[in-house]
């Protein structure tokens, strides 16, 4: 178990099985999940009386779905004391978390992340929210869960592409905070035993979010390495073609190149990262980078940007990074065109 401390208390992260996680829930808990997860875990879920199933995919982090889930909660008689459980990947966790944060001004919330991406990233740290047509995660809250249950067996049914998707964030933790983790990832086939990797990533994230819960000190923003470009790619593609981790993989290569050209990142880092991510089966470039304008426009709407000034989490070397604000547009344009 890992415990996360935040401004209003603490919450535990349990490493457990799905069956155990479901058994530990309060009797009147309601579960939000998607059709895919529901199909995969139908047996276990048959004991839960109130399950709300939505369509899988980033498209469900929408206002329409947010409103539907809230109406479903009201119609199901959810009170202030009802626990909402988000069982699924990052979309379910983010959407469910924002529903829990705002329904009756906040009800108990439990995360059971079933994808590698959600386990190592979105289920920890209390960030919840939905997308606007104007940008990803533009609406949401900092709302720590009451507990996170990380079910290891969930990863066994995950398609390969979804595993690689999560691995992109695992590599990111190594690049920004933990050079030994990068070494480990290059030397072994981590899929044989993901559990220690998941725990290491959660530990790394826990330390960062405890130091800067509300993303005000420039510490938490470091986790955004690859994300300024990655989010922009996702937005330009309307969340089609690439999964989040895939867009972030491309973003990490571009941002490593940007860091090198700005003399912030050690020379040669971008090529190393590019080769490692390629070997990991992740995309490292995209033809749309040759059309920088819409990407830069999206970056100016990034939450790290102030008054439209571009901001990036850039590596100094593998295992270390820092937040860099007011990056010149020309630098970003070159990095995109050279990637």
Kindly list the residues in this chain that would bind its own copies in the complex (CB under 8 A): 7-8, 28, 63, 67, 70-71, 74-75, 77, 79-81, 98, 101-106, 127, 129, 132-135, 137-142, 214-215, 301, 303, 305-308
The DSSP call for residue 266 is: P
Task: Say how far apart CA 278 and CA 51 lie, in whole Å.
Answer: 39
Q: Is 14 a residue of the active site?
A: no
> Least separation, in Å, of the C-beta of 314 and its own copies?
20
Q: Is 58 a residue of the active site?
A: no
142 Cβ contact list (under 8 Å, min separation 6) = 126, 127, 128, 213, 214
Residue 78 φ/ψ, nearest 5 degrees: -60, 135
Task: Say how far apart CA 228 and CA 313 lie, in whole Å.
Answer: 8
Q: Is 6 a residue of the active site?
A: no
Catalytic choice (65, 146, 222, 227): 227
Catalytic choice (58, 213, 215, 255): 215
Q: Is 53 a residue of the active site?
A: no
> Least separation, in Å, of the C-beta of 294 and its own copies?
16
246 Cβ contact list (under 8 Å, min separation 6) = 164, 165, 168, 282, 283
> Least separation, in Å, of the C-beta of 27 and its own copies?
11
Nearer to its own copies, 141 or 266 (CB): 141
Q: Is 205 a residue of the active site?
A: yes
> Least separation, in Å, of the C-beta of 25 and its own copies?
17
Q: Is 81 a residue of the active site?
A: no
Task: Say how far apart CA 48 and CA 217 lie, in whole Å.
Answer: 41
Please, are residues 126 and 143 in contact by the beta-carbon 8 Å criterion?
yes
Catalytic choice (58, 169, 234, 246): 169
Nearer to its own copies, 56 or 125 (CB): 125
Residue reference for tokens 């990380």: 150
Nearer to its own copies, 88 or 129 (CB): 129
Please, are residues 328 and 261 in contact by the beta-carbon 8 Å criterion?
no
Nearer to its own copies, 20 or 79 (CB): 79
Please, are residues 152 and 18 in contact by the beta-carbon 8 Å criterion?
no
Nearer to its own copies, 114 or 224 (CB): 224
- Angle subtended at Cα 37 by Cα 32 and Cα 38, rounded to the nearest 5 degrees: 70
> Least separation, in Å, of the C-beta of 182 and its own copies?
30
Q: Is 215 a residue of the active site?
A: yes
Bridge partners (DSSP) of residue 327 are 310
Q: Is 169 a residue of the active site?
A: yes
Catalytic choice (61, 136, 200, 205): 205
Instruction: At 158, list the tokens.
Output: 């995950």
Task: Say how far apart CA 60 and CA 55 lie, in whole Å.
Answer: 7
> Least separation, in Å, of the C-beta of 8 and its own copies?
7
Nearer to its own copies, 12 or 214 (CB): 214
> Which sequence positions are flagged as catalytic?
105, 127, 169, 205, 215, 220, 224, 227, 231, 244
């Amino acid at each position: 178990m890992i415990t996360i401390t935040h401004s209003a208390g603490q919450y535990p992260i349990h490493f457990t099985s799905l069956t155990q996680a479901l058994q530990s829930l309060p009797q009147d808990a309601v579960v939000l999940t998607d059709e895919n997860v529901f199909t995969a875990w139908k047996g276990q879920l048959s004991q839960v009386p109130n399950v709300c199933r939505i369509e899988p995919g980033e498209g469900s982090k929408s206002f329409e779905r947010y409103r539907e889930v809230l109406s479903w909660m009201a119609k199901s008689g959810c009170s202030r004391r009802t626990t909402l459980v988000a069982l699924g990947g990052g979309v379910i966790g983010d959407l469910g978390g924002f529903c829990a944060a705002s329904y009756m001004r906040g009800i108990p919330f439990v995360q059971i992340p079933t994808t590698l991406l959600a386990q190592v990233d979105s289920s920890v740290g209390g960030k919840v929210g939905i997308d606007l047509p104007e940008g990803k995660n533009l609406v949401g809250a900092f709302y720590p869960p009451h507990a996170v249950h990380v079910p290891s067996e969930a990863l066994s049914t995950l398609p390969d592409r979804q595993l690689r998707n999560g691995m992109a964030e695992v590599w990111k933790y190594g690049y920004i905070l933990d050079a030994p983790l990068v070494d480990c990832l290059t030397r072994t086939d981590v899929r044989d035993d993901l559990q220690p990797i998941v725990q290491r990533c959660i530990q790394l994230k826990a330390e960062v979010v405890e130091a800067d819960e509300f993303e005000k000190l420039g510490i938490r923003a470091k986790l955004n390495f690859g994300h300024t470009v990655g989010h922009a790619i996702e937005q330009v593609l309307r969340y089609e073609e690439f999964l989040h981790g895939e867009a972030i993989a491309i973003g990490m290569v571009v941002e490593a190149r940007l860091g090198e050209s700005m003399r912030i990142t050690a020379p040669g880092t971008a090529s190393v990262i590019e080769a490692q991510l390629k070997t990991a089966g992740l995309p490292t470039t995209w033809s749309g980078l040759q059309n920088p304008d819409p990407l830069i426009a999206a970056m100016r709407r990034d939450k790290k940007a102030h008054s439209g000034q571009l901001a990036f989490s850039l590596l100094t070397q593998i295992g270390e990074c820092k937040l860099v604000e007011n990056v010149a547009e020309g630098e970003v344009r070159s990095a995109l065109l050279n990637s």
